[in-house]
Amino acid sequence: MLRVGVLVSGGGTNLQAILDAIDGGIIVGAEVVAVISNNENAYAIERARKHNIPAFIVTPKAYGSREEFNNALLETMNVCKVDLIVLAGFLVKIPEAMIAAYKNRIINIHPSLIPSFCGVGFYGLKVHEAALKRGVKVTGATVHYVDEGTDTGPILLQKAVEVRAGDTPEILQRRVMEEAEWVILPQAINMIANNIQAI
């Protein structure tokens, strides 16, 4: 059984998609064993508790330095004995020590078709604002492995989503979540849990 730790900062809609996919048999051979948030007010914590999943708050403001926070984050992962770390809207830079310790075992969901609209500064609504400003006709989401860069690791899955006339960043964000993020993130976890190769 693949032991999954999910890192979240906000509402936890991607976490919910993972939990629903496990409950619905879309993800087989994996379980979420820990949810970690840098934000004590994240609704994702409540989602974890409703599923009886241990939830941990590891926030930078609780520590004297960034290094102490980084060490605490890595220690939490180690204590939970996770096999795979899933970044599901986690708005904190992953420490290099964690990337090294969990090499090729950290994945992230990003709300664009990488290499478009990714990298430093591209997160949340900012991604969709940039896509609309550029006038693209297609956007989407990408699941990729995490390396030392920002959104630069190997791509695992992508799914395209149509941009429609009259879209606002909020409307586009919702469509990308529903049609892409909530589909390919569970799919990626299932692939890793069952050693299925991407086509």
Query: Which residue numbers are catalytic?
Result: 110
Tokens of residue 103, six digits: 């090499």
Q: How far apart are CA 36 and CA 48, in angstroms?
A: 9
Could you tell me which of 89, 112, 111, 85 has the C-alpha nearest to residue 99?
85
Of the CA atoms within 13 Å of residue 113, those in its CB half-sphere come to 12
Note the residue count of the chain. Answer: 199
Instruction: Give 3-state DSSP helix, strand, coil % of the chain, rounded to 5.
Output: 40, 20, 40
- Buried/exposed 164-197: b ≥16 CB within 10 Å, e otherwise: eeebebeebbebbbebbbbbbbbbbbbbbbeeee
Measured at the alpha carbon of residue 126, what is the angle toward residues 130 and 11, in degrees to the nearest 5?
Answer: 145
Could you tell me if 138 and 148 are in contact, meaning their C-beta atoms sit under 8 angstroms apart?
no
